[in-house]
Structure 1
Amino acid sequence: MGNEQIRELPATTAAPGRSGGGAWAPGTVHRLLLARTDAFWDVLTGRPVSLYATSVLRIGYGLLYLVFLLREFPHRDEIWGPGSPWTPALAAQLFDQTGWYSFLILSDSRAYFELCYALALLTSTLFMLGWRTRVTSVLFAAVVASFHARAIFMTDGGDNLLLLMAFYLALTACGRRWSLDARRARIKTARADGTPTTRARSLVPQDLRAARTTLATVVHNCGVFVIAAQVCFLYGSAGLYKVQGSFWDDGTALHYVLNLELFQPWPALSHAMDQYPLAMAVVGYLTVLTQVAFPFVLFGRLKYPVLGVLLGMHVAIAVVLGLPLFSGTMIIADAVFLPDRFYTFLPHLLRRGARRCGERAPAPGQETGLGSVPQQGGHPDGREEYGPVSRPASGRGGPAPSGPTVTQ
């Protein structure tokens, strides 16, 4: 993304500017800074980065919040509705102190709450599908913020990160790929290719469109960089906080976590894992090392095994500790560090895997077994034209007969 050019600049610009004593020439540092600034500006304004990654974040967080709202649908009134112990009046008093806001407290009517809940489900669905993403992304951020603020004392770290990501995604062009907006744009482009183009009479509309494109690109790239920085700060701070604790230092932190009733959805599994203290200590040290090292391995190939370790860690947290929302939020956030070439190659890989599975599966009417007889007309050496090498019906060795044979 331009990093190679930046690394080569000192070797090409510094050599002519050196004096006899080995010092830098007066204007070399200034030219080097200008070159780096121009390269950074080209990266920032040249093209939108990580379009597929932001689309994965949009689909992931939209689906995750939709599943969350559907999961809590039977308990919606006790959590966010008029029947909640944390009444709208108490929430309004807290908002006066904290500056939060929620459209759920505008009315105590149950019909109003049910309407808001239905709109939240609809907004999450449209955001996931990528329909009018510029508008639905803002509405999705408003929905997440309102539901988060209404039950602020029932949230955890996963809810906080989901709220931040909802705000960040509103700045990105997360509907450019794998969305209804992208499909509509392809159809519009295909229709426009067949119509003759007319030359613009004035350069002002072209300049305005170019400025709008540049502004959208800059805002999108800044949003992606902020998302990446947020995840890096989260992992780095979590690892450094663990280093300061004595339980993580002596390898007993996971022992205490596994014995907390609040985080025991499967008590038998937690107790079984606690029977291996050495393995739990190794897992604890590996967790701390991975989290601390994560911000420093993003620009090399080492980030892929680190992301794999983090994926396994979050899956274990979701299953063993019963925190699926937190784990899902973190797994989706990690997707921003995968390059676009990974996502563009993924459909090809899936199609190739499906094609291989289709080749291995027997065709209709040609199931293998003693009761199936393939078509005649094979190769001159006695093999069938399709399928594996056949043997005589008698099962003995020797050349294949000229008639039909039975495949094994």
Structure 2
Amino acid sequence: METEAQRTVSADTDRWIAARINAVWELLTARPVSLYAASVLRIGYGMLYLLFLLREFPHRAEIWGPGSAWTPALARQLFEQTGWFSILTLSDSRTYFELCYVLALVTAALFMLGWRTRVLSVLFAVVVTSFHARAIFMTDGGDNLILLMALYLVLTACGRRWSLDARRDRLKTIRAGNASDRPRSPFVRQLRDARITLVTVMHNCGMFVIAAQICFLYGSAGLYKVQGPSWSSGTALHYVLNLELFRPWPVLSHFVDEHTLVVAIAGYMTVLLQVAFPFVLFGRLKYPVLAMLLCMHIGIAVLMGLPLFSGAMITADATFLPDRFYTSLPHLCRRAMRRTDSRRPVLGRVAGAETVPAQGKPGVIDSKFREILPAGRKDTKLATGHLSPEARPKSG
């Protein structure tokens, strides 16, 4: 028979579980989290894919066109095995392909700007998926990450901040003034509240999935490196710097490779940062870790010639910066500009200018000090006593 103490412990456990469930539900439904971070993801990946399409514009036919080595027929045969889909294989016409490419450029640009983001996020995911699947053997890690993020961003409200949609909503609110737009019908109010709750839950779940994906990416990459003998011996980056395929600046790669101690330390730090990344996200230690990861990705972009991959990873890391960081950026920029302006010398002002009185006639030059005296007051001591008799203004 259950004792009183056991019933008390059981009741406390039930209350604790109920409190945790309510806390999780409140976190999911109370308000959308990381709206600024979601907007940074939208702007970053939209801009990256737009630049990627513009960079490959001269080679678009060889990569995705009907006349490429990987023909649409071969792509369709692969789709039967993998289950992928691409709008580029719906027709073998060159005109259709060019229209799809223009559509992809416009979609990436409008998605980056945040115009009708709900619709454009779906269209952007379709575009990225189609181009990725059409030439799947031409992709790298950056393309894979952009594909995943494009799918995840469909769930988020990534157009609430720093977008044309946000500007339009702000102007609409200003025009409406203080008039309440709350519907009178209880049924309509319930539908609107349910829609708001659903959008909030989808956004929060999408951001949590994005954060989990990045943690899994870093953690798995770090653990995979630990198993390799070259990373454990500190020589992995030496071999990377000597790969001909990833040496856009051979002289720079050779210069870095000469510093063997620095290269070994960088290799060990890379593994340490990637393995420790999922465990430092809930404290202030994440800020120096994110800064070091930023430096690491910049090094990858420069030394290995992988700007798309580095840009995709840097954009993904922005997920873990809180909204207060983004909201404080304009204030920090204004304060930095004020400090810069205060240190800049005023045009036309020289040291000791406040001790030089103004003159009645402009452009009078003292023969002793060789200074140009500005026009101003006529009854000054300098104008009558400190000038030579030849330079004094004559009366009458």
Q: Counterparts of 2:318 and 2:78 in 1: how far apart (Å)? A: 35
1:9-408 correspondence to structure 2 within 5 Å: 25-194=9-178, 196-197=179-180, 200-363=183-346, 366-369=347-350
Report the alpha carbon displacement of residue 358 of structure 1 after superposing the two structures with TM: 2.8
SS of alignment partner, residue 232 of structure 1: helix
AA partner of residue 323 (structure 1): L
Aligned to 2:365: none
- Secondary structure, counterpart of 1:308 in structure 2: helix
Q: 2:65 is matched by which residue type in structure 1?
A: G
Q: Is residue 125–residue 150 contact of structure 2 (8 Å, CA) maintained in 1?
A: yes
How far apart in 1 are the matches of 2:164 and 2:302? 33
Query: How big is each residue's C-alpha offset from its partner over 1:59-115, in whole Å with a ceiling of 9 and x where there is no partner?
Result: 000011101111111111101112211111111111111111111111111111111
Q: Distance in 2 between matches of 1:325 and 1:129?
A: 20
Deviations 1:305-332 (A, max 9, x none): 1001110100000000111000000000
CA 1:200–1:154 in 2, change beyond 3 Å: closer, same or farther?
closer
**Quick one: structure 1 residues 108 and 348, their matched pair in 2 at CA, closer, same or farther if it must change by over 3 Å?**
same
Instruction: Indicate the residue corresponding to 2:393 in structure 1.
Output: none
Structure 2 gaps, min length 5: 359-368, 372-379, 384-396
1:35-69 CA-to-partner distances (Å, cap 9, x unmatched) read 11111110110000000000000000001110111
Residue 348 of structure 2 aligns to which amino acid in structure 1? E
- Counterpart CA distance in 2 for 1:236 and 1:295 is 7
One-letter identity of the residue aligned with 2:109: T
Does the C-alpha gap of structure 1 residues 230 and 77 become closer, same or farther in structure 2, counting only changes over 3 Å? same
Name the CA distance, whole Å, in 2 between partners of 1:402 and 1:238: 79
Residue 273 of structure 1 and its aligned partner are, at CA, apart by: 1.3
Residue type matched to 2:148 in 1?
L
Q: 1:273 to 1:34 in 2, by over 3 A?
A: same
Q: Distance in 2 between matches of 1:287 and 1:343?
A: 27
**Residue type at the aligned position of 1:47:** R
Q: What is the distance in 2 between the residues matched to 1:73 and 1:268?
A: 29
- The normalised TM-score by structure 1 is 0.84
Question: Which structure has the larger Rg?
Answer: 2
Tell me what 1:388 maps to: none
TM-score by length of 2: 0.87
CA distance in 2: counterparts of 1:50 and 1:296, whole angstroms: 20
Q: Deviations over 1:276-329 (max 9, x none)?
A: 222111111111011000000000000001001110100000000111000000
* CA displacement 1:135-187 (0-9 Å, x = unmatched): 00100000000000111001011111100000001110000000000000001
Q: How many residues align?
A: 363
Runs (5+) with no aligned partner, structure 1 = 1-17, 379-392, 396-400
Alpha-carbon shift at residue 361 of structure 1 (Å):
3.4
